[in-house]
Every structure is written in structure tokens, then in C-alpha cells.
């Protein structure tokens, strides 16, 4: 009916209007470039600068989705029903986050008594999307939004059959973190809001749908899949994938979904998942999400993994054949405590998710694979952190990073992960492991299913460790870790004996005292190879490059991390024999951890044209996020 047609926004600036209603500080008006520059003071704790939603007026508590997956048009279409709590006696419009959604109709009311209502889309912000403002009838607690996504939705990748392992069926996956859920569902897209959800997903009959919910591996492939997620989750953990997927159990509570071509290899590579789950529970308390399964994605997945609850999404680039890269599984599993159970309240507080998770990852690795592996993983993490500290501006080295006016995807780095983890490691060293584990267990229980700020964490620390260990801990220093760039003087420096014996060998070879063949690599693990390569000087001669390659067959390495380290060396030294592999690596893999440094390296070593050529060829197969962050690197800031 007429009253449900989208109306053109009657205010001059719909998005600013929407923000005013959220009561967010005016200086932080994210859509307003004037105020971006003016904002000098510290960001206000607890404010989510990356959502338009008026979460102080209404809180969404439950989502009911009914979506058809249309591979032909590359759209999801259907309805999202949101149940919300009213926190105000007034009746302001409900403001939701959207990005590139086509809104067909909105109804509102109670229960099944829903009537079409007026709605409008505000001004679009390039980083944040478009606020959707809905006029509510008095006392309404439910809205039903009929909509469809756009084929270029930033949080969805639609893959052609040739981009999959099987090559016969299309594939779809979503990636909602940080602020891309709004590109496939209209909602309050802020990690401060937790909701339960249910969903009906309609797919082509030969495909299977899975979600961050109660997947049923025995569900008949009939094109209609029902899901329920009874634990409340933040919107960035909403996830869907559709493809030619099969399931293989790995343990009582763990299993893997993958295309049939990858299923056995994945289940073998990740067979320790069940032991990891048990080991984590023993120290940090029960696993609260029932099952823990893995979904192996096609190689265009832009991250190593994503901790979608009950079903972590995993890049196939970690199936190395020797379990050398399974720290990624420990990482995603650890998020079931740090991140999914206790959640960062805004993206400024990401270190609460990632620093705690990186710390837990190391502990899980030690538990399952022993001390030597633990020390090597930690030392590699420390080196990653040092590399970022050398590279970054001071403002980006701060754990509680000021993200006002910035796109979170563009500033994503090792700081929240490795600096956060090193900080926690220092606390462990100072008060002892047993006491620190007890603290973490209490912390997870205390804040279970809550979203917290850096300041909430500090207040909790004041009530607990700072009170119990006044001689060992110092609040000033803790604040320095969190709010200052760099790392405090005297911070721990994780090292490994297995690495220190590599240094002299590498040096002897560089000095020409021994040939590559004379290096005894027979016992080297992946980690030692990585350390050996990453420690090479900036410049190597052509002879040195050829010798390394012919002796160790590095250009053809099947381990993607080793291939990556070698390709970084090849690019900066213009080692042509590796360029064919470089091109196929950059074309077949979409993981930004590899692509960003490789493209940056190409540009910085004067090969911008080559970078652009490969990028343009690969672009149709890349995820929208991969396109966004790498085109900035190749074409500069404004190229989009
Ligand atoms: C300092 C950055 C502040 C906010 C950014 C928040 C989210 C950034 C967004 O780009 C999403 C990141 C998702 C990461 C998922 C998994 C990581 O563990 C992957 C790490 C890299 C990799 O292994 O490939
Ligand atoms: Zn993580």
C-alpha cells in the first residue's frame, strides 16, 4: 500500500538526524567530515561510532530470518523480523543499520498484528552504510522488513563453480565482522546488542546451507533449511554459507563441513580439535555453545578464520598436510570464550576479543603440542608485532584505538592480537600462571554473554588483580599498555631455542661460509623454515636467490605460509622465476593476510603496474573486502 512506499527523506541530512536521535556526541558524527577533523578528545567509552542504531531507545533481542538464496541474480531476498525491547517512554523512530539493501516494505506492531508503516533511508556514509528510519506505532515491539541484498553486498561473496574445489556448483558465504552484517540483514549492527535468532534458508536443491547456529548434518537436502541460535550473539557473528557441503565428524562434539573434495584432508588436518576443546574447557570453564564444527571455505575467503559460533569459518590455505598451521583452529576455538562469550563493546575494544584469544591460542598450542611449539608460535607472533610497530603510525599502535571517522577494515592489524596477547603474557609472568588462569576463568564467568568496554575490563582489574597483587602490578603500566603506542619498556620478549640455532646457520650461509646444501634442514619444522626466511636481509643477490630456490624448491612450496614468505623475498629482490607462482598465488588466494603485504611490497618495490595487472585479472574472483583494501594499496587512498 501507499503508506509503505519508501519516502524520500524530508531532512537535509538523514544520517546526521539519525545520529542525533541516538544521543551520540556531536563531535563524533561519523558521517560528517567536518566533525571528523574536529574530533580531538579521547573517544567516549561505550559509544559505537560504527552504528547508526538508536540502541539507547530500542534493543533488538531476537531475529527471525526467511531468505531465498538466488544464485542467478546474486541476491538474498526475503524478510527479517526483529523483536525489540523499548527503553524509552517516547516513541522515536527505530533506526537500523543497512548497506546497499533494497527495502521493499516494513510492517510493525506486536506478535502477528503487523501493519505497513512509513520508513525512510538516510544519507549514505561510505564506511557505515545507510540508516533505515522506521516510524513505529505506539508500543510496537516487532518490525518485519521485506528486502533484498545487492549483488555487491560487502558482507557476501557469491562464487562461480570454477572458484570451488569441485568446480560444479556455486558457493556463497557471508563475513559480517566488523560492520558487514548490515549488508545482508537490516539490524542494529553493533557488538553491544545481543540477539538470539532463527532462520529459514531456501537454496537450490542440490546445495546445503549452514549457519552460525544448530546445524543438522543429517538434514535432508531438500532446499529448505531451518536454524535456531538459542544463545544471544552480537550481529557480527551472524553467518551463512551455501554450497556443495558434506559433513564428517572428528569427535563427539566436533566435526567438519567441506566440499567432498576437501573433506577427508580437512578432517585429518584438524583431528586434534576435540582435544583442543577439552583442554580449553579444563582451564577456562565449560564450552557454552553445544557443538563446535568447522566449515572449510574456498580460498577466496578473506581471512584465516572467522569465529562464527558453533561453526568457525576456515580458509583452506591452512590445510598444509602436517598440522603446521592449526594454531588457526585453536584461535577460532578460543573465541568461544574470548569474543563470543565476552564480547568487545565496540571495534575500539577489539583487543579484548583478539588479545585474549591470541593469548589463549598459545596456551592451547602448548597444551596439545608442547613447549617447543608454544615458544615458536609466541616468538613468531612477537616478530609480527615488531614488524607492525616499525610500520605503523603511533595512533595505530594503541590497543584501545581511536576509530572515529575510520573504516575498521582499513586499520585492522597485529596490534590488537599480538600486543594484546603480550600484555596478558606479562600479567601471567608477574602473578604466576595459576593465579592468572583463575583470573581468566572468573573473568569469563563474570562477563558471560555480555559486551564490555576497555574501561569495564580496567574496572574489573581494579576489583581483582590490582587489589590482590599491589606489589606485583601497577595500574600506570597497565594503562600504558592499553592507551599508549609501542610497548612498555621491559615488556617480555618471547624467544625460542629452536630459532636461536637458525640464526648462526643463516649467517654462515649469507657470509658464504657454507652452501645451502650444507644446511641440515632435515629436522626443521614449518616454524623454523618461516623463521629462516623471514630473517633474511632486505637484499639478496640473484645467485643467492637461485641457490635457495634450487636447493629448497621454495617457489613450489606447498605450505602457503612458506610460499608467502618466499614470495615476499622474491618481490623485493625482483626474482623473476617466482613471478608465475606469485601471480597464481595472488589470483587463487583471497586471504588478506597474504595479499595486503604482497601488493604493498609490489608497489613499494616499483612494480605498481604489475600489481595492477594481476589485481585486475584476479578481481572478479576476489571478495568485496579483498577488492576494497587492496585497491587502496594499489591505486592510493581515493581509488575506492
Ligand atoms: C584495529 C582494528 C579495529 C577494528 C577492526 C575490526 C574488525 C576488522 C575487520 O576487518 C574484520 C576482521 C576479521 C578477522 C577475522 C579473523 C582473524 O583472526 C584473521 C586474522 C588474519 C588471518 O589469519 O588471515
Ligand atoms: Zn580472532
> ipTM of the predicted structure?
0.96
Distance 307 CA to ligand 2 centre (A): 7
Ligand nearest to the CA of 334: 2
Q: What percent of the chain has pLDDT over 70?
A: 93
How many Å apart are CA 216 and CA 108, to the nearest integer? 32
| Catalytic site residue from 198, 259, 269, 332 | 332
pLDDT confidence tier of residue 22, bands split at 50, 70 and 90? very low
Query: Which option is the CATH number for 2-29+47-242: 3.30.70.2190, 3.40.640.10, 2.60.40.1730, 2.40.10.220?
Result: 2.60.40.1730
- Supply the pLDDT for residue 18: 38
CA angle 346, 350, 351 (to 5 degrees): 140
How many Å apart are CA 376 and CA 527, to the nearest integer? 7
pLDDT, tens only, 362-418: 999 999 999 999 999 999 999 999 999 999 999 999 999 999 999 999 999 999 999
For the CA of 357, the nearest atom of ligand 1: 18
Would the annotation count 305 as a binding residue? yes
Distance 347 CA to ligand 2 centre (A): 13
Distance 314 CA to ligand 2 centre (A): 12
Q: Taking residues 106-117, report their average pLDDT.
A: 96
Ligand nearest to the CA of 361: 2
Give the domain 497-639 fold: 1.25.40
Would the annotation count 133 as a binding residue? no
For residues 303 and 175, the answer to whether their CB atoms sit within 8 Å is: yes
- Supply the pLDDT for residue 46: 85
332 catalytic, yes or no?
A: yes
For residues 195 and 237, the answer to whether their CB atoms sit within 8 Å is: no
For residues 7 and 120, the answer to whether their CB atoms sit within 8 Å is: yes
How many Å apart are CA 152 and CA 67, to the nearest integer? 17
Check whether the bond before 178 is cis (ω within 30° of 0). Answer: yes
| Protein residues with CB under 6 Å of any ligand 1 atom | 177-178, 303-306, 347, 350, 401, 403, 408-409, 411-413, 416, 591, 593
How many Å apart are CA 389 and CA 486, to the nearest integer? 6
Q: Taking residues 44-69, report their average pLDDT.
A: 97
Helix, strand, coil distribution of the chain in percent, nearest 5: 45, 20, 35
Q: Taking residues 60-81, report their average pLDDT.
A: 98
Ligand nearest to the CA of 392: 1
**Residue range(s) occupied by CATH 1.10.390.10 in the chain:** 343-483
Q: Which CATH class for the 245-336 domain?
A: alpha beta
pLDDT, tens only, 301-357: 999 999 999 999 999 999 999 999 999 999 999 999 999 999 999 999 999 999 999
| Catalytic site residue from 369, 417, 425, 443 | 417
How many Å apart are CA 200 and CA 69, to the nearest integer? 11
Distance 412 CA to ligand 1 centre (A): 6
Q: Taking residues 92-104, report their average pLDDT.
A: 98
Concatenating the DSSP letter of every residue in 318-342 gives G--SSSTTTHHHHHHHHTTTBTTTE
Separation in Å, CA 270 to CA 338, 432, 590: 21, 31, 21
Does residue 58 carry a pLDDT above 80? Answer: yes
271 catalytic, yes or no?
A: no
**Residue range(s) occupied by CATH 1.25.40.320 in the chain:** 497-639
Q: Taking residues 71-85, report their average pLDDT.
A: 98
pLDDT confidence tier of residue 554, bands split at 50, 70 and 90? very high
For residues 31 and 405, the answer to whether their CB atoms sit within 8 Å is: no
- Supply the pLDDT for residue 42: 83
- The 3-state secondary structure of 364-425 reads HHHHHHCHHHHHHHHHHHHHHHHHHHHHCCHHHHCCCCCCCCCCHHHHCCCHHHHHHHHHHH
- Supply the pLDDT for residue 41: 75
Distance 303 CA to ligand 2 centre (A): 10
**Residue range(s) occupied by CATH 3.30.2010.30 in the chain:** 245-336
Local structure of residue 590 (DSSP, 8 states)? -
- What contacts 24+ positions apart, CB below 8 Å, involve 245-252? 245/207, 245/208, 245/210, 245/295, 246/208, 247/217, 247/293, 249/217, 250/274, 251/275, 251/277
Ligand 1 atom 1 nearest Cα: 412
CA 302 to chain CA centroid, nearest Å: 9
- Supply the pLDDT for residue 161: 98
- Supply the pLDDT for residue 6: 36
Give the domain 343-483 fold: Neutral Protease; domain 2 (1.10.390)
pLDDT, tens only, 581-597: 999 999 999 999 999 99
For the CA of 332, the nearest atom of ligand 1: 18
Q: Taking residues 107-116, report their average pLDDT.
A: 96
Would the annotation count 354 as a binding residue? yes
**Residue range(s) occupied by CATH 2.60.40.1730 in the chain:** 2-29+47-242
For the CA of 351, the nearest atom of ligand 1: 1
Would the annotation count 177 as a binding residue? yes
Q: Taking residues 119-142, report their average pLDDT.
A: 98
Q: What is the mean pLDDT of the chain?
A: 94
- Supply the pLDDT for residue 40: 53
CA-only gyration radius of the chain, Å:
25
pLDDT confidence tier of residue 32, bands split at 50, 70 and 90? very low
Ligand 1 atom 13 nearest Cα: 177
Amino acid at each position: 500500500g501507499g503508506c509503505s512506499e519508501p519516502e524520500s527523506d524530508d531532512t537535509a541530512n538523514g544520517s546526521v538526524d539519525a545520529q542525533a536521535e541516538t544521543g551520540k556526541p556531536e563531535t563524533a558524527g561519523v558521517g560528517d567530515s567536518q566533525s571528523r577533523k574536529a574530533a580531538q578528545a579521547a573517544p567516549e567509552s561505550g559509544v559505537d561510532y560504527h552504528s547508526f542504531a538508536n540502541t539507547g531507545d530500542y534493543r533488538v533481542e531476537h531475529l527471525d530470518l526467511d531468505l531465498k538464496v538466488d544464485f542467478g541474480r546474486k541476491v538474498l531476498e526475503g524478510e527479517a523480523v526483529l523483536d525489540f525491547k523499548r527503553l524509552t517512554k517516547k516513541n522515536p523512530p527505530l533506526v537500523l543499520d543497512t548497506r546497499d539493501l533494497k527495502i521493499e516494505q516494513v510492517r510493525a506492531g506486536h506478535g502477528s498484528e503487523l501493519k505497513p508503516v512509513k520508513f525512510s533511508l538516510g544519507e549514505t556514509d561510505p564506511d557505515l552504510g545507510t540508516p533505515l528510519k522506521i516510524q513505529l506505532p505506539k508500543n510496537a515491539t516487532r518490525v518485519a522488513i521485506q528486502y533484498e541484498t545487492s549483488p555487491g553486498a560487502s558482507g557476501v561473496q557469491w562464487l562461480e563453480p570454477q572458484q570451488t574445489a569441485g568446480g560444479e556448483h556455486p558457493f556463497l558465504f557471508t563475513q559480517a565482522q566488523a560492520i558487514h552484517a548490515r549488508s545482508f540483514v537490516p539490524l542494529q549492527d553493533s557488538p553491544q546488542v545481543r540477539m538470539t535468532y532463527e532462520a529459514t534458508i531456501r537454496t537450490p536443491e542440490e546445495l546445503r546451507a549452514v549457519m552460525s547456529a544448530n546445524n543438522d548434518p543429517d538434514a535432508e537436502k531438500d532446499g529448505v533449511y531451518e536454524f535456531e541460535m538459542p544463545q544471544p550473539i552480537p550481529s557480527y557473528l551472524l553467518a551463512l554459507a551455501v554450497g556443495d557441503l558434506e559433513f564428517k565428524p572428528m569427535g563427539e562434539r566436533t566435526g567438519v563441513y567441506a566440499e567432498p573434495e576437501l573433506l577427508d584432508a580437512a578432517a585429518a588436518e584438524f583431528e586434534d580439535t576435540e582435544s583442543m576443546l577439552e583442554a580449553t574447557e579444563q582451564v577456562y570453564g565449560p564450552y557454552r555453545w553445544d557443538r563446535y564444527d568447522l566449515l572449510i571455505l574456498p580460498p577466496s575467503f578473506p581471512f584465516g578464520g572467522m569465529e562464527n559460533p558453533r561453526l568457525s569459518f576456515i580458509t583452506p590455505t591452512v590445510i598444509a598436510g602436517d598440522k603446521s598451521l592449526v594454531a588457526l583452529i585453536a584461535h577460532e576455538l578460543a573465541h568461544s570464550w574470548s569474543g563470543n562469550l565476552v564480547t568487545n563493546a565496540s571495534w575500539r575494544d577489539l583487543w579484548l576479543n583478539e588479545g585474549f584469544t591470541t593469548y589463549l591460542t598459545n596456551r592451547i598450542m602448548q597444551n596439545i603440542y608442547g613447549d617447543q611449539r608454544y615458544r615458536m608460535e609466541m616468538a613468531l607472533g612477537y616478530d609480527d608485532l615488531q614488524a607492525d610497530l616499525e610500520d605503523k603510525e603511533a595512533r595505530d599502535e594503541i590497543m584501545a584505538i581511536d576509530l572515529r571517522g575510520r573504516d575498521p577494515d582499513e586499520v585492522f592489524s597485529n596490534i590488537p592480537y599480538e600486543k594484546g596477547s603480550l600484555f596478558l603474557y606479562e600479567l601471567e609472568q608477574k602473578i604466576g600462571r595459576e593465579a592468572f588462569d583463575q583470573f581468566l576463568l572468573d573473568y569469563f564467568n563474570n562477563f558471560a554473554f555480555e559486551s564490555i568496554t576497555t574501561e569495564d575490563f580496567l574496572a574489573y582489574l581494579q576489583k581483582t588483580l590490582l587489589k590482590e597483587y599491589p606489589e606485583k602490578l601497577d595500574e600506570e603500566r597497565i594503562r600504558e599498555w592499553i592507551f599508549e603506542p609501542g610497548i612498555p619498556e621491559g615488556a617480555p620478549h618471547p624467544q625460542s631455542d629452536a630459532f636461536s640455532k637458525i640464526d648462526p646457520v643463516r649467517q654462515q650461509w649469507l657470509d658464504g661460509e657454507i652452501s645451502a646444501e650444507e644446511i641440515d634442514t632435515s629436522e626443521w619444522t614449518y616454524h623454523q623454515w618461516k623463521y629462516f626466511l623471514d630473517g633474511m636481509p632486505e637484499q639478496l643477490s640473484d645467485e643467492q636467490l637461485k641457490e635457495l630456490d634450487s636447493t629448497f624448491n621454495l617457489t613450489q612450496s606447498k605450505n602457503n605460509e612458506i610460499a608467502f614468505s618466499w614470495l615476499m623475498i622474491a618481490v623485493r629482490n625482483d626474482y623473476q622465476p617466482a613471478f608465475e607462482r606469485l601471480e597464481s598465488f595472488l589470483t587463487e588466494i583471497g586471504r588478506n593476510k597474504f595479499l595486503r603485504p604482497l601488493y604493498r611490497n609490489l608497489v613499494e618495490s616499483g612494480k605498481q603496474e604489475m600489481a595492477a595487472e594481476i589485481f585486475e585479472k584476479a578481481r572478479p574472483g576476489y571478495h568485496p573486502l579483498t577488492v576494497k583494501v587492496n585497491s587502496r594499496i594499489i591505486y592510493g587512498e581515493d581509488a575506492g
